[in-house]
Structure formats: C-alpha cells, structure tokens
Amino acid sequence: MQKSYRKYAVFFILPTFIAFIIAFLVPFLFGIYLSFTKFTTVTNTQWVGWDNYVRAFTANRDFTHALGVTAAFTVVSVISVNLLAFGLALLLTRGIRGTNLFRTVFFMPNLIGGIVLGYIWQLMINGLLLRAGVDITYDPKYGFWGLVVLMNWQMIGYMMIIYIAGLQNLPGDVLEAAEIDGASPWQKLRHVTIPMVMPSITICTFLTLTNSFKLFDQNFALTAGAPMKKTAMLALDIYNTFYGRVGDEGVGQAKAVVFFLMVAAIAFVQLWTTRSREVEQ
Amino acid sequence: MKQKKKSWRSTLLVVFLTILAVFFLAPVFLVLMNSFKGQFYISDAPFALPDANTFVGLKNYWNGIQKVGFFSAFGYSLFITVCSVAAIVLFCAMTAWYLVRVKTRMANGLYYLFVFSMVVPFQMVMFTMSKIANLLRLDHPVGIILLYLGFGSGLSVFLYSGFIKGIPLDVEEAATIDGCRPLQTFFLVVFPILKPTAITVAILNAMWIWNDYLLPYLVIGNRYRTIPIAVQYLQGGYGSRDMGALMATLILAIIPIVVFYLACQKYIIKGVMAGAVKG
C-alpha cells in the first residue's frame, strides 16, 4: 500500500512543502547566517563572526532591559491569568443560570486582534490616568501594569474554556466519595479537583507562557515601548533594532536568534516536564 | 432549609458574574461611546457620555472609512484570510495524511521539521521572509497566501497528524481494494473523516491570519492595507492623530469579529478547545 502511495508524493507534499521552504526553511537558515554578518541588503553581506551577538548585549542596555521586562511580565501574567481563569471556570461549572451567556462574554476579547486591543486599552487607561493629569507614557509602571491587565482581559476567557473542559471531564463519583469521607470544599479542591485537572493546568501554563513571552502587537499598540523604551518587550526590541537604525540589521537578527533559542528552551523544558509527569501516571 | 441557602448563594453568584461581565464589556462600550463624539472631546473626557456639544453622529465613521480606505482593507483582510485558510485546510491535510501513512525516513524527518517550525517565533524569520517575498514577487494579496500556507503549516500538519494516527487503516484499505487511487481515497474517504480537525485548523488559522499585523505589514503594507494595518496607520504621530476616526475604525474592526463569533460560536469554542488539548 505504501509503495502505491509513494508515486503521489508530488500531489500530497509538494504544495505545502514549497510554501514551507519559501516562508520558513530558507528564511530561517538564511537568518542564522545573517546574524553573523553586517548587512543592509540581503545581497551585500560581510562576515563579522560573533560581533553582532556581542553588540546585542553590550552596545546599549535595550536588550537586557527588554529581557527583564519580558520575564517579569511573563511571570505576572502566567500566574494571574491562570488563577483568575481557573476561578471563573469553577464558578461556571456549578450549573447556574446564564452559564452559556457568561462563557460567551468572557471569551469574546480573545478573538479581537492585538493591535485593536492595544488601542482600546490605551483609551481606557489614559482615561483613568487623566485625573492624575498624566497618560500611560508618563511612567513605565503604567505601561507594564496596563499590559498585564490587557493580557488578562484577552487570555482569561480562552484559558477558562480549557479549564471548563477539564472540570467537566472529572468523574463525579470521586468528588462524591471525598464528600462522604467528610472532606471540606477546600480539601476537595486541593486534593481531588486540582490533581485531576493537571493536564489542563499544564496546557494553560504553556499557552500563557509562550503567548506572554512572544507578545508583540499588544505591546506595540499600547505603549510602543514608551517612555524611553522602558516598556519594550523582547519582540518589540528586536523589531526596533531591525527597522530603527540603518546598519543595525545584523544586531537585530542576532537578537532574534537569541530570542528563538529562549523560546525553544521554554518549549523543550515544558515538553520534558509534561512527558515525565505522564510516565508517572 | 438547605435548598433555600443554596438558591441564595447562586443568586449572589449570578450577580457577581454579571458585574464581572459588565467589566469585560466596558472597554468596548467605552470605545463605542467615544466613536460618536467629536475628536477633540475624546482624550479630554473619555468617560463622559456624548451630549449636544460633543455628539457628531456618524462623522467619525465617515472620516475613518475615508482616511484608511476601510472597505478595501476589509476586502483584503477577507480575501487573504479566506484563501489562506482554505489552502492550509486542504494542503496540510494532504501532507499530514501522506506523512503519517508513508513511513519512510524522509517522511519522518519532514514531519519533525514541520513540528520544529512551531517553536520558531516570527521575529526570527521576519526580515529574511519579507526580503525573499519581495525577491520572488510574492508581495501582493495572492502571493501572501503562499507565505501563510508555509508559516502556518507547522501547527496544522501537527494537528492533522495527531488525528490521522488514530484512524484505522481498514477503511482506506477497503477503498484501495475497491479500486480507488490514492487521490480518490484521500478526497472521497479520508478528507470527510478529518472534518472535526479541519474545523479546528480553520478556526485557529482564521483567528491568527485575520488579526495578524506584522507579516502583512512587512510584505504588502506599503500598497495593501489589511484591517490591523489600517488601524495602526491612524496612529500617525502621537497627539496629531484623529481620535474620532481611530475610535470609529476600532468599532468597525470589531464588528465583523463579533458577527462571526456569534454565528459560529459553537465551532469556535469547540475548535479552540480541541486545538489546545492537542497542541
């Protein structure tokens, strides 16, 4: 059977694979090469070794600062989004009236694109800060926490949906048994519900982690890094390096490679911990 | 007695959730309200309702539509999203099926290459991809479909493969014995079975492509504005921008999403759930 299929590889694989080569494979490999060169156009390159990588960290503090902002933002939003989403999911699986309507409303922000979300929240936050006579660009704290609120608003509904799916798959008899044994609601949550929805927790942590770490559109629209690049995250800093000053393209590409390695490391660690946990079960 | 206590509690819960839902909708209503006010009254008092002085009717909408060419932006967004999603749904299904069923070393390697591409952030390839797109004359709304197919194929092939691995071979073998050629087997037998995953793939990719800003901006942004590019275009210099037109354009950008969401809610929520569980 396999042999008879093989002749048809052209039909089945080629359309996707050609697109994959053009849109991903060649840009990826060429991008790694360019990170070791100085260039302004892709045809005029000059090998400079690790110079771009050194300059990414030493020419100014933009990249390391962006790394700090990204790390802080990721930690805060992973924790807050998951806690709130899990809480909402618990409330919405009790069979109260209007559950579907609430679910619809809470999920809606997730469909709106990052650029649009950024400007919606810019209006909201600037409006609230108006009383103090300042706007979101006044202090990096405003931009940072504004972005956290925005991220929560966008992601809570999505994660809530996944948690609801996990909670609905809980076998009822286990909870009932715990109740008969005299477990308090808190004990039931701590020792029955949470261990049993662990797969959902893993998925949601992973999704919020990568989405927060790679955030660009929302950051770009809400503050664009203002004031003084103090609220720029990694993806935005890479973009600014690329398209900011002529001659820095190589540094931008080097930063992008470092960024890729960090994202890959996160994904790998996540996969590894999930695997090891699955073996235990 | 216990019954009474319970219903009291659930009423309290409904009240709490209603308040929360109002907070969730508030930002969008704020933008909607301000979209009817004159542009100079928005930043100064965003929480004030429009009154006789500040109400400008649909003027902002008219301004916004003209300034950014909203209808052509909507057209480009719709064309690019629909065509790219169709291409991804079809071609990635074919690729995934072939890679799962033909277990050569090449096929295996190719599968892992697709999976690997999921980890790579867009910033890694954005510069080189846009240059190559220029070089190959892909910098128009038709060419960009190929880029979306290529960059979106990782996740889509992965999702399809996961599903196909669970389909028993018997059906396909029976079709082959009955004289189906591989292409017929795929389109008449396999593809209909893939429908649930196809919906997930379509929803996830549609959400991404419709809202995507950077890829179309870098590749076709000078000449063709999609909706996110049109919104960003209104930004201009800080302070000099037309807040009224921005508010109106934000609302215009949200309307298609809300309509689509309310019409296909069941599929969207299911699709997102299935995608998350496998991804």
Chain B: closest CA distance from residue A102 (Å): 7
**A21-25, B16-20, B81-85, B236-240: least confidently modelled range:** B236-240
What pLDDT score does A281 carry? 45
Hey, is the C-beta of A227 within 8 angstroms of any chain B C-beta? no
pLDDT in tens, chain A (281 residues): 556 677 787 889 999 999 999 999 999 999 999 999 998 777 788 899 899 999 999 988 899 999 999 999 999 999 999 999 999 999 999 888 888 899 999 999 999 999 999 999 999 999 999 888 888 888 999 999 999 999 999 999 999 999 998 898 888 888 888 888 888 888 888 888 888 888 889 889 988 999 999 999 999 999 998 888 899 999 999 999 998 888 888 999 999 999 999 999 998 888 788 777 655 44
Q: What is the DSSP secondary structure assignment for residue B241, as one 8-state letter?
A: S
How many Å apart are CA A42 and CA A31, to the nearest integer?
A: 10
**Residue of chain A whose Cα is closest to the Cα of B143:** A19
Closest CA to A212 of A123, A150, A124: A150
Hey, is the C-beta of B148 within 8 angstroms of any chain A C-beta? yes
Q: What is the tens place of the pLDDT at every residue in B204-232?
A: 999 999 999 999 999 998 899 999 999 99
Find chain A residues with C-beta within 8 A of B232's C-beta: 115, 220-221
What amino acid is encoded at B103 in this protein? K
Bridge-based pairing state of the strands A44-47 and A37-41: antiparallel
| Residue B1 scores a pLDDT above 50 | no
Q: What percent of chain B has pLDDT over 90?
A: 63
Q: What is the tens place of the pLDDT at every residue in B99-148?
A: 998 888 999 999 999 999 999 999 999 999 999 999 999 999 999 999 99
Contact B36, B53 (CB under 8 A): no
Hey, is the C-beta of A134 within 8 angstroms of any chain B C-beta? no
Q: Over chain B, what is the mean pLDDT?
A: 90
Find chain B residues with C-beta within 8 A of A91's C-beta: 13, 16-17
What pLDDT score does B278 carry? 56
For residues B107-121, one letter each, b for 16 or more C-beta atoms within 10 angstroms of the residue's C-beta and e for the rest, the string is beebbebbeebbbbb
Hey, is the C-beta of B213 within 8 angstroms of any chain A C-beta? yes
For A46, list phi and psi in degrees, rounded to 5: -135, 125
Contact A119, B246 (CB under 8 A): yes
Q: Cα A90 to chain center, whole Å?
A: 24
Burial class, B170, CB count within 10 angstroms (exposed 0-12 / middle 13-18 / buried 19+)? exposed
How many Å apart are CA B185 and CA B174, to the nearest integer?
A: 10
Would you state the structure tokens that stand for residue A126, as one six-digit string? 């600037």
Q: From residue B26, how far is each of A150, B23, B63 by CA, in Å?
A: 13, 5, 24
CB–CB of A161 and B273 under 8 A? yes
* Stretch 20-59 of chain A: residues touching chain B, C-beta under 8 Å: 20-28, 30-31, 34, 41-42
How many Å apart are CA A64 and CA A232, to the nearest integer?
A: 11
CB–CB of A263 and B28 under 8 A? no
CATH code of the region A56-280: 1.10.3720.10
| Residue B80 scores a pLDDT above 80 | yes
Using N-to-C axis directions, what is the helix angle for B143-164 and B105-117, rounded to 10°? 120
Closest CA to A197 of A225, A170, A160, A233: A170
What are the sequence ranges of the domains in chain A?
Answer: 2-51, 56-280
How many Å apart are CA B14 and CA B273, to the nearest integer?
A: 25
SS3 sequence of chain A: CHHHHHCCHHHHHHHHHHHHHHHHHHHHHHHHHHCCEEEEECCEEEECCCHHHHHHHHCCCHHHHHHHHHHHHHHHHHHHHHHHHHHHHHHCCCCCCCHHHHHHHHHHHHHCCHHHHHHHHHHHHHHHHHHHCCCCCCCHHHHHHHHHHHHHHHHHHHHHHHHHHHHHCCCHHHHHHHHHCCCCHHHHHHHHHHHHCHHHHHHHHHHHHHHHHCCCHHHHHHCCCCCCCCCCCHHHHHHHHHHHCCCCHHHHHHHHHHHHHHHHHHHHHHHHHHHHHHHHC
**Residue of chain A whose Cα is closest to the Cα of B279:** A203
CB–CB of A5 and B121 under 8 A? no
Question: Angle at Cα A58 formed by Cα A53 and Cα A61, nearest 5°?
Answer: 115
Q: What is the tens place of the pLDDT at every residue in A127-157?
A: 999 888 888 888 999 999 999 999 999 999 9
Mutate to test the interface with A, among B11, B17, B31, B201 (most CBs of A within 10 A): B17
Q: Spell out the domains of chain B, with CATH numbers in brackets.
A: 75-210 (1.10.3720.10)
Give residue B241's pLDDT band: very low, low, confident or very high (50, 70, 90): confident
Mutate to test the interface with B, among A4, A6, A24 (most CBs of B within 10 A): A24
Q: From residue B16, how far is each of A20, B21, B144 by CA, in Å?
A: 48, 9, 46
* Stretch 77-106 of chain A: residues touching chain B, C-beta under 8 Å: 88, 91-92, 94, 96-98, 101-106
CB–CB of B92 and A214 under 8 A? no
Find chain A residues with C-beta within 8 A of B131's C-beta: 41-42
Find chain A residues with C-beta within 8 A of B10's C-beta: 94, 96-97
Hey, is the C-beta of B32 within 8 angstroms of any chain A C-beta? no
End-to-end CA distance of chain B: 47
| Residue B163 scores a pLDDT above 80 | yes
